[in-house]
Amino acid sequence: MPCVPIKLIQESIWMARAWTYQEALLSTRRLIFTEEQLYFECQGYYCTEPLSVSSAWLSSMHREDLRLLDSGVNGPGKVMMFPEDRCGTVEWHIFTRINEYTRRKHSHDEDILNGILGIMKTFERKFALRHLWGLPFSVHKSEWAIQFGRMGHVFCSGLQWRLKRPSRRRVGFPSWSWTGWYGEVHWLTPDSGRNLPRKDLDYRLGLQAELASGENIYPFEIERHSIRSAELTRFIHLTCLVFPVTYQKIDGSGGVQYCITYHGIEDEKQSQRAERIVQWTTKDMPLENAELLAIYVPGIIEGGNLILQNMGKWWERVATTAIARLPAKQVWRTLRLG
């Protein structure tokens, strides 16, 4: 019998269900029944049935500030199963929590956001984070929040989520949010040293949420005016740097690839176009007759762009890509994203 039944717990149906994710993280004490033994874990230590030690020794170990039985908390070789301080110790951990949550299974599509609202509420209390359709944004006046105006630096980085593989849309949720797609999502971590805004851009980035009444409101005003979630539509109005792109289907030795061609970007050798392989969000390919547009969104991915498709009255996200150089002529537009 293994000392710590991690494998049994990780492969259980309980660990695969989305609704049990925040149930486990937000609990201060967890008692888990497996087919072989009981497992207990709190914020101070863990205990299993095969662990043969005195009660006095266990009492001395039961201190949240020590976590002595976990020599690698949140890292390689860690023993304890759940994150330090339940949800995380810095605001960026919200992206890790969403990544873990989207690996799990839902029985009902409409529960995709409800199943993580408890964790969102915890980050709200600890880090003054709020969310808009599951995408976090900051309400405190950090350096980024000042540079990005009312939008907040976390929301900028939040828009740059990526799917593990192309997927299909979830009805009733916006394409710009991870809630609008099936599948596991992830973000690059902010420890790469590239998490500062580009200094060569005039930041006029702006964001407003669209209400059912037709009025637009800044995200930080939602709480101030006691706006209920039912009053929010899935649309946002984003003021951003845009540049024209065209869609290309390329047949090569490695098979068919779908690329985006940027126009008006000066390359070291030519100034006509720059082709980029993209990470597609949608698997509904090809998009030969679609009107596409690239928008630059600053964040933890340097040169990170979203590719949008014109749906008529709004734009929807279909891909992400990156490009080091930007057009010499900067064009700013306010787009309605849904």
Segment 97-132, tens digit of pLDDT = 999 999 999 889 999 999 999 999 998 888 888 889
The domain ranges of the chain are 1-86, 223-337
SS3 track for the chain: CCCCCHHHHHCCHHHHECHHHHHHHCCCEEEEECCCCEEEEECCCEEECCCCCCHHHHHHHCCCCCCCCCCCCCCCCCCCCCCCCCCCCCCCHHHHHHHHHCCCECCCHHHCCHHHHHHHHHHHHHHCEEEECCEEEECCCCHHHHHCCCCCHHHHHHCCCEECCCECECCCCCCCCHHHECCCEECCCHHHCCCCCCCCCCCCCEEEEEECCCCEECCCHHHHCCCCHHHEEEEEEEEEEEEEEEEEEEEECCEEEEEEEEECCCCCCCCCEEEEECEECECCCCCCCCCEEEEECCCCCCCEEEEEEECCCCEEEEEEEECCCCCCCCEEEEEEEC
Residue 134 has a pLDDT of 93
pLDDT, the chain, mean: 76
Segment 246-264, tens digit of pLDDT = 887 777 666 667 777 777 6
Mean pLDDT of all residues in 41-49 = 74
Residue 133 has a pLDDT of 94
Mean pLDDT of all residues in 276-304 = 74
Answer with the residue of higher pLDDT: 27 or 200.
27
Confidence label for 149 from pLDDT (cuts 50, 70 and 90): very low
Residue 251 has a pLDDT of 73
